[in-house]
Structure 1
Amino acid sequence: MTSTMATPVQHIPKISHREARDLATTEHHRALDLLRSLDDEEWSKPTDCPAWDVRAMAGHMLGMMEFTCSVREFVHVIRAGGKAAGDGPTIDGMTEVQVADRAGLGVDELLERIAAAGPRAARRRYRVPRPLRALPMKQEMPKGVETWRLGYLFDIILTRDPWMHRIDLSRATGRELLLTPEHDGRVVSDVVAEWARRHGQSFTLTLTGPAGGTFTHGNGGEDITIDAVQFCRTVSGRGSGPGLLGEPVPF
């Protein structure tokens, strides 16, 4: 979003089920294009996720795609991830299992499987039956355990996650980050809307860059100007910020 006119956050439409499928498909293609552009040395570069280099992060991204492609993989990751997590967050155990299960893949095979799994995952997520999408799930967050619906995981989180990892990959390798108002601006505006719902306070938020825009809620409050990508990195926990920027949003 690049308009200089302020958008009240209550006017940001929720991402529909069909739109979620389209965003997931576009994000897959952009992540795959970035990964295909890497040279041999770049696959071993460290990322902002301390436990993962670029190769391991790509393994996690593939794991999340294949997680939704088959019931067997879904059940395996949930069960094995719970054991691997121990007393820690289940999601950490799940990602550990995903990376370990794909650690032996060569780069070419990894890319081939990502190319195949991305579109299939977007279709499978779209076709999840409504009763299953309505099922609750528990998720650890910085402010405590939350209850999500599986539909929120499939439609929102499983696109925000690779979107943020594409940023991680760009930062790790120095490759140009493709950002457009239509795709990235939509992901960002949805994050802004959720961030606003979570803290419920008045603000004016100016996000700079191709994915940015100006957003408001209520009268007065904090007046914040920050790059759109940095805003998302901050509320995701990859950075820290004062005041309302300390309100976490799941990715």
Structure 2
Amino acid sequence: MIRHAEAMLITASENTRLLDLLRRLTGEQWQATTDCTGWTVRDIAVHLIASAQAQAHPLEFARQLLAGRRLGGAHWVDGLNQAQLLARTGWEASTLPPLWAQHSAAALKARRRLPAPIRALPILPLGTGLGVHIGWQSLGYLFGMGFTRDVWMHRIDIARAAGIEPSLTAAHDGRIVADIVDEWSGRHGQPYTLTLTGPAGGSFQAGDRGEPQSVDAVEFARILSGRADGPGILRHKLPL
């Protein structure tokens, strides 16, 4: 499991990697469709910046949450995401990289300073998504690696849509994937033998009679998140 201090170091690195990717995008790439239904590359970038604004300022978090609840949706996060986009329709693509740099830095500063007793408060009603019951979680679930996983997964979405090979390393991306495997494994509780290939890959096992599966590490994350389908033990999902 990734603890808070390590999570903040990973977050700083992930924020930089996303910024580097956003700076590479051309006009057409900003309008490319992504694996996220109904969202373009621009939409994903706007969502991530809005999320960073909410992380940095509790009142902005509350404002987005209330706006999202008025819009409704299958899950309260759906309304929240829609509200983020509707409130920022005037943002030009050219402004998004500097906006990300500004607000991701403010969000990271706020997350680093969040006291441990506050992070431990179990006040997030995450409920059920993709058929997985997450239930009530602590603030630390999101303000540790939760938001960072969101950025990482969306960096993959943007790279795929734009036709750009994402920057992946074992030390950074492999650590994020291993943390995802840890939670996924604990939630479904079944034996498995898992070989994840590619720069972010590794070998994982639980139990003695685990069903063997081999898949690219990024594809594994896409399968878990519902962006793609997978056989056997990979049928168990994890919202990312």
Q: TM-score, normalised by structure 2?
A: 0.95
Q: Which runs of 5+ in 2 are unaligned?
A: none
Structure 2 SS opposite 1:237: coil
Alignment of 1:28-47 (within 5 A): 28-47=15-34
The 8 Å contact of residues 124 and 139 in structure 2, kept in 1 or not, is answered as yes
The 8 Å contact of residues 132 and 238 in structure 2, kept in 1 or not, is answered as no
Aligned residue number for residue 58 of structure 1: 45
The 8 Å contact of residues 59 and 102 in structure 1, kept in 2 or not, is answered as yes
For the residues of structure 1 that align with 2:66 and 2:33, how far apart are their CA atoms?
29
The 8 Å contact of residues 34 and 157 in structure 2, kept in 1 or not, is answered as yes
Alignment equivalent of 2:100, drawn from 114, 133, 144 = 114
The alignment-based identity, stated in percent, is 43
For the residues of structure 2 that align with 1:23 and 1:58, how far apart are their CA atoms?
19
Aligned residue number for residue 8 of structure 1: none
Shift of 1:228: 0.3
CA RMSD of aligned residues (A): 1.3
1:35-62 per-residue CA deviation (whole Å, 9 max, x = no partner) reads 1101111111111112111111110011
| Structure with the larger RCO, 1 or 2 (CA within 8 Å, 6+ apart) | 1
Summarize the Cα distance change of 1:144–1:186 in structure 2 as closer, same or farther, 3 Å threshold.
closer
Q: TM-score, normalised by structure 1?
A: 0.91
Say yes or no: does 1:192 pair with 2:192.
no
For the residues of structure 2 that align with 1:145 and 1:108, how far apart are their CA atoms?
37
Shift of 1:201: 1.6
For the residues of structure 2 that align with 1:34 and 1:144, how far apart are their CA atoms?
33
Alignment of 1:57-96 (within 5 A): 57-86=44-73, 88-96=74-82
Say yes or no: does 1:228 pair with 2:214.
no
Shift of 1:173: 0.7
Shift of 1:128: 1.4
For the residues of structure 2 that align with 1:245 and 1:152, how far apart are their CA atoms?
23
Q: Which runs of 4+ in 1 moved over 6 A?
A: none
Say yes or no: does 1:21 pair with 2:8.
yes
Aligned residue number for residue 203 of structure 1: 192
